[in-house]
Amino acid sequence: MENFEHCIPTEVYFGKGQISHLAEILNRYGKRVLLTYGGGSIKRMGLYDEIMKILNDNGFAVTELAGIEPNPRIETVEKGAKLCRDNNIDVILAAGGGSTIDCSKAIAVGAFYEGDMWEMVETAKPGRKALPLVDILTLSATGSEFDGGAVISNMKLHKKLGGSYTFPAVSITDPTYTFSVPPFQTAAGSADIMSHIMEGYFARTMDSDLSEAIAEGVLKSVIRNLPVVLKEPDNYDARANLMWDSSIACSGIPEYGKESTGWPCHALEHELSAYYDITHGAGLAILTPRWMTFILKKDPSVTPRFAKFARNVWGLEGEDEAELAQKGIQALYDFFVSVKLPMTLSELNITDEYFPEMAESANRNNRLANSYVPLTKEDAIEIYRMCL
Ligand code: NZQ
Ligand code: ZN
């Protein structure tokens, strides 16, 4: 087992009705609140009215930032940081999915950052001064509610950069707020959860037992609960399982004690989103089985890891590990098909036009060379081609 450090300073209020703690939580930080949200889903489901009633009844002064985009943009970070400064904001309250929370993390740091906001994104690092952030999660996917990272896009430059900003001080994660998530976003979010696990699971270290069990447990939970919520969107227990899966999957916990893996599928996917503004989880669902097929062929020494995936996650059996490895990849592919995720880039109108540029950028600072099975720029292009 490798060394690791555990530090997740976020308090989680999980479950039905936990919004009842909102006023008491915000009062810890002050009365001037910046409420941030996306394109209107919180209004349609009644959460906006619920929040505003609590804020008004408890004497908070509210400034609003609406319209945070999926794949949040640098321009919106600039707008939010200015609102914080102009209104002397004490605390940010983000209500939405990963995009709203990510944008709010960057705003929390941007409120104090002296200098250009894109430069802040390019140089993002932990420990910068930030406003306190409280969030109310409405989509199980990114894990932004339980980590310090955020991903910000600059569409003019075709850049989508992940980095460390600040942990939410408190996350309210009530599964009932995810009842309204449409089937496609539910499936894409679940693919993102699975990817966060698989990025760390496929590692050289085989003896970090608890991490392995947590990773396999999260995958099995998603495989069991996603089909349930697609049939019954308001099934509380199934939504609840997906929500906690989301928080744990990207927290780092399932990788404790393991060698780092470079998260190559995320590096490849962020380029797809940067060029084509696609849904992150959908891009990952397309890329992951192809990446698996590619690395298994490139380096057959990883076969035992794939056989373990087939056995422990998909319940497959067999003596021939090479065959089992292929069957595990096929099971993952078939699962994504069964939940109606697009499985080719062509379905998203993506051609090979920018593959060289995307591969170059995914491999900046030679980072793909440090992944589980080291990849070159040419390998990345080949994986993109396999996805067409
Ligand atoms: O904008 P609104 O109207 O709220 O609608 C959103 C959006 O259209 C909708 N939605 C959210 N909750 C809903 C709902 N619709 C109905 N009912 C609800 N309860 O869903 C759409 C997608 O929302 P978004 O926040 O974009 O999705 P997600 O949570 O998947 O976030 C994606 C972003 O997070 C980044 C991705 O790259 C992408 O930019 N990531 C962040 C990570 C992190 N912070 O750790 C890690 C991830 O790997 C990921 O890269
Ligand atoms: Zn992700």
Nearest CA, atom 15, ligand 1 = 181
Nearest CA, atom 50, ligand 1 = 151
145 close to ligand 1 (CB < 6 Angstrom): no
41 close to ligand 1 (CB < 6 Angstrom): yes
Give the pLDDT score at 106: 98
Nearest CA, atom 39, ligand 1 = 71
Nearest CA, atom 49, ligand 1 = 142
Nearest ligand to residue 191 Cα:
2
Give the pLDDT score at 231: 98
Give the pLDDT score at 72: 98
307 close to ligand 1 (CB < 6 Angstrom): no
Q: How far apart are CA 141 and CA 287, in angstroms?
A: 17
Which residue in 67, 81, 84 sits closest to 119, CA to CA?
81
pTM (2 decimals)? 0.98
Nearest ligand to residue 97 Cα:
1
Report the atom number in ligand 1 closest to the C-alpha of 42. 4
| The three-state (H, E, C) secondary structure of 283-350, written as one string | HHHHHHHHHHHHHHHHCHHHHHHHHHHHHHHHCCCCCCHHHHHHHHHHHHHHHHHHCCCCCCCHHHCC
Give the pLDDT score at 271: 97
Nearest ligand to residue 143 Cα:
1
Q: From first to last of the 388 residues of the chain, give the pLDDT tens digit.
A: 999 999 999 999 999 999 999 999 999 999 999 999 999 999 999 999 999 999 999 999 999 999 999 999 999 999 999 999 999 999 999 999 999 999 999 999 999 999 999 999 999 999 999 999 999 999 999 999 999 999 999 999 999 999 999 999 999 999 999 999 999 999 999 999 999 999 999 999 999 999 999 999 999 999 999 999 999 999 999 999 999 999 999 999 999 999 999 999 999 999 999 999 999 999 999 999 999 999 999 999 999 999 999 999 999 999 999 999 999 999 999 999 999 999 999 999 999 999 999 999 999 989 999 999 999 999 999 999 999 9
DSSP for 182-246, written as a single string: -HHHHHHHHHHHHHHHHHHHSSS----HHHHHHHHHHHHHHHHHHHHHHH-TT-HHHHHHHHHHH
Question: Is residue 376 classed as helix, strand or coil in its secondary structure?
Answer: coil
Q: How far apart are CA 241 and CA 244, in angstroms?
A: 5
